[in-house]
Structure 1
Amino acid sequence: MDRQTVEYLKRIGAERPTAPTPEALRDLHARHQLAVPFENLSIHLGEPIVLDEDSLFDKIVLRRRGGFCYELNGAFGHLLTALGFAVSYLAAGVFGEGGAVSPLFDHMVLGVEAGGPWLADVGFGDHSLYPLHLDDAGPQLDPQGAFQVSRTPEGDLDILRDGKPQYRAEARPRRLVDFGPSCWWQQTSVDSHFRRNLVCTMPVDGNPGRDASQNSGGSLGRVTLSGLRLIRTRADERQESELGSDDEVLAAYRDLFGIRLDRVPQLAGEPSTVPTGDRKPQPTAASTKPNRQAK
């Protein structure tokens, strides 16, 4: 087993599976989400996002950061391939409030063969803890809700959560490099949801003494840092607090997400002029419940 695979498995607290089975995919999928946050901090730190295997490994594994869909699913796809799974990259568009679907390549998911076809997605922000079986048309119960895969007449895949459409993925395999232009647009366009919002989020388990990757119930919560707003949710409970200084923000990234930064991310194009320790809340349009990977 090569060094990158060994280090990646350590990063998510997983053992090397003996074979590319559905059970192994399920375990890896859950552990990845419980260890690696969904975040778009690079955009607001002036860090370029590069979609190649070494760059993704350096950021997510060596620097213990997270990322958004292209990074998280891109890196996870490399890991699964190294472990013997057959993986394809699938382009997707996200459903908006009015039912319209955003442009293809707005999101990226993985098609995985493991005793049958599966959809793996560790990069949507708030999604299923476990992969979804593509041959199961009925509801698939998950700690994050009831998910369903519905095939369109054109052969695309609509993914629903609790009856609400989340995104539409095409079945045609793509290359990771094909997502480069969309990744660049998300980093640079004034119309990009990710450029206009700051978010870092990950699921948390309600039973810290238990292996959360084996959670089959509904006790998962979520912690989110959206700008200066810290949000903790569990079931119907929600707690919000406003962080008052850069030191508090940096401590939250470190203690809650395992991310160590030497400066606070600023919304792109809005540099801070307030000294550390006396910083006022920055304006942000960030969603208080990030449940979609893209706008």
Structure 2
Amino acid sequence: MDTTAYLKRFNAYPVEELYLQDLARLQSLHMQNVPFENLDVIRSVPIYLNLENIYEKIVTHRRGGYCYEINGLFHWLLKELGFDAQLISATVMKPDGTWTKADTHAAILVNLDTPYLVDAGFGDSTVSPIPLGGERHTDNSGTYSVVGHEGLYYDLVRENGEDQQILYRFTTDERMLADFHEGCVFNQVSRESPFTHDDLVTKATPDGRITLSGMQLTISANGEKTKKELTADEKSKLLKEEFGILLDAEEAVETAT
């Protein structure tokens, strides 16, 4: 696997120093160019926790993926660049306040002057590293903090006005990518998985986020949201032009013509 080709995939260049600003730039560019998407899940294309396969999908075929793929490969890159990075597991809180299957989300912890949560594979969330010390960080997607609970576990929290929403809960225990096998299978086949119901493709933009959910396009820019229902042709065009994604059937047609 080629780190230079991977960096070019998301319009980045090699880091000269292992500073917070370098890590933040890598995460932001990654989230703007490598979409979070479940298209293979919906189309019953198996996803395996094999870095070579994930590299081929994301770098060679210029696709995205969900958390195991995106954060699994991004973690490999950070390690190759010299960062002190480790995979961790998290349990996601649903919008209704209940929890998903435990430890089925993969995220990254990077140790600099202090530990930082780095997550390029959670969809609509912060595009920057968040320190574990409770400091608040604001970007185009909202205001975030990581709240510790006596060192036993941590919550990634997003502020919604005066309210606070827990996005997920995690510990700092190091995980291997293979440890997420059960969660990866669950999120591909279970009706309780949030990824088995309809297409979801989303990526950050310089001023917000663009999201395809089913046949609906949502564009968030500078705190404002617009929504539009798409036709099948408009959806295919959007996948190609905004996300750089051609599905296999479309690739075959384009190659034949």
TM-score (ref. length: structure 1): 0.79
Instruction: Give per-residue Cα distances to partners, 1:209-243, cap 9 Å, x unaligned.
Output: xxxxxxxxxxx222111122222222453322222
Residues 42, 195 of structure 2: 8 Å contact kept: no
- Give the Å deviation of 1:129: 1.1
CA distance in structure 2 between the partners assigned to 1:138 and 1:154 by the alignment: 16
Q: Is the alpha carbon distance of 1:154 and 1:197 closer, same or farther for their aligned partners in structure 2, counting shifts above 3 Å?
A: farther
2:40 is matched with 42
| 3-state secondary structure, aligned to 1:197 | coil
- Give the Å deviation of 1:179: 0.3
- Give the Å deviation of 1:154: 5.4
2:9 is matched with 11
User: How many correspondences in the alignment?
Assistant: 246
CA distance in structure 1 between the partners assigned to 2:139 and 2:225 by the alignment: 21
| 3-state secondary structure, aligned to 1:151 | strand
CA distance in structure 1 between the partners assigned to 2:221 and 2:16 by the alignment: 35
Residues 51, 73 of structure 2: 8 Å contact kept: yes
| 3-state secondary structure, aligned to 1:172 | coil
CA distance in structure 2 between the partners assigned to 1:242 and 1:195 by the alignment: 21
CA distance in structure 2 between the partners assigned to 1:171 and 1:104 by the alignment: 15
CA distance in structure 1 between the partners assigned to 2:151 and 2:24 by the alignment: 28
Residues 121, 131 of structure 1: 8 Å contact kept: yes
1:79-228 residue pairs with structure 2 within 5 A? 79-135=77-133, 137-153=134-150, 155-162=152-159, 163-205=164-206, 220-228=207-215
Q: Does 1:238 align with 2:235?
A: no
From 244, 247, 252, the counterpart of 1:258: 244
2:255 is matched with none
| 3-state secondary structure, aligned to 1:174 | coil
* 2:167 partner amino acid: Q
CA distance in structure 2 between the partners assigned to 1:154 and 1:134 by the alignment: 10
* 1:257 partner amino acid: F
- Give the Å deviation of 1:131: 0.7
Residues 26, 131 of structure 1: 8 Å contact kept: yes
- Give the Å deviation of 1:169: 0.8
Instruction: Give per-residue Cα distances to partners, 1:86-115, cap 9 Å, x unaligned.
Output: 111111011234433333222111011223
Instruction: Give per-residue Cα distances to partners, 1:172-215, cap 9 Å, x unaligned.
Output: 1111100011001110112211111321011222xxxxxxxxxx
CA distance in structure 2 between the partners assigned to 1:263 and 1:222 by the alignment: 27
* 1:143 partner amino acid: N
CA distance in structure 1 between the partners assigned to 2:189 and 2:228 by the alignment: 30
Residues 140, 148 of structure 1: 8 Å contact kept: yes
1:229 is matched with 216
CA distance in structure 1 between the partners assigned to 2:166 and 2:182 by the alignment: 25
Residues 49, 178 of structure 2: 8 Å contact kept: yes
CA distance in structure 1 between the partners assigned to 2:107 and 2:76 by the alignment: 13
CA distance in structure 1 between the partners assigned to 2:189 and 2:101 by the alignment: 17
* 1:128 partner amino acid: T
| 3-state secondary structure, aligned to 1:171 | coil
TM-score (ref. length: structure 2): 0.90
Residues 4, 57 of structure 1: 8 Å contact kept: no
- Give the Å deviation of 1:171: 1.4
Identical-residue share of aligned pairs (%)? 34
**Uncovered stretches (5+) of structure 1, i.e. residues with no partner:** 206-219, 265-295
* 2:176 partner amino acid: R
CA distance in structure 2 between the partners assigned to 1:6 and 1:55 by the alignment: 17
